[in-house]
Amino acid sequence: MDESSLTSGRQKMEQVVALVKTDLAGVQTGRAKPALVETVKVEAYEATVLEVKELAAVTAPDPHSLVIKPWDRSVIAAIVKAIMKANLGVTPVPEEEIIRINVPALSSERRQELVKLVGQKVESGRAMLRSIRSEVKKEIDSRKGAPGVSEDDIRLQHGRLQQVIDEYNRKLDELFSAKEKELTEI
């Protein structure tokens, strides 16, 4: 029996996990991580929109601060404005050639709010997985009655599909657990 629908479904599920992983990287954990600001969109150079990582080097010299060193000093103001607009809970401080950001420690209430937010992001990933499962299941079911395809083949494909879904749900669980641990550690 043709495995193409399972293969394409697996590729889509991999993209969902990558999307959730990227989304979770932007959640502030009370520790300075370049991922916190790297994907912030900056309007620079005559309305061209670029990410911070495309305009500057972002480093974390210690656990509570970030340093952004733009390759072109003329975009410092635009980067500061974009970070403020992104509402990340940090305040960028422009200096001569760099932008310094102090990352404040999180209160326990804020940590719990962020754990809930992470849970919501992971749950939206699960919803995307369910949607993909539904699409692949329809493709498999559409082969019923086709020459050379038995009921056992269909049932086997459904079983394999469920195994793949379980595998990707475990990956999402691992992402959630790792981020939750990171948020609750002081």
CATH code of the domain containing 174: 1.10.132.20
- Per-residue pLDDT tens over the stretch 95-154: 989 999 988 777 888 888 889 999 999 999 999 999 999 999 999 888 888 888 888 888
Q: Are residues 92 and 131 in the same domain?
A: no
Best CA proximity match to 9, nearest among 108, 112, 157, 148: 157
Q: Are residues 164 and 135 in the same domain?
A: yes
The reported pTM is 0.70
Q: Are residues 88 and 124 in the same domain?
A: no
Q: Are residues 116 and 70 in the same domain?
A: no
Q: Are residues 85 and 144 in the same domain?
A: no
How many structural domains compose the chain? 2
Q: Last residue of a domain, which of 102, 125, 143?
A: 102
Q: Which helix (H) or strand (E) holds 28?
A: none
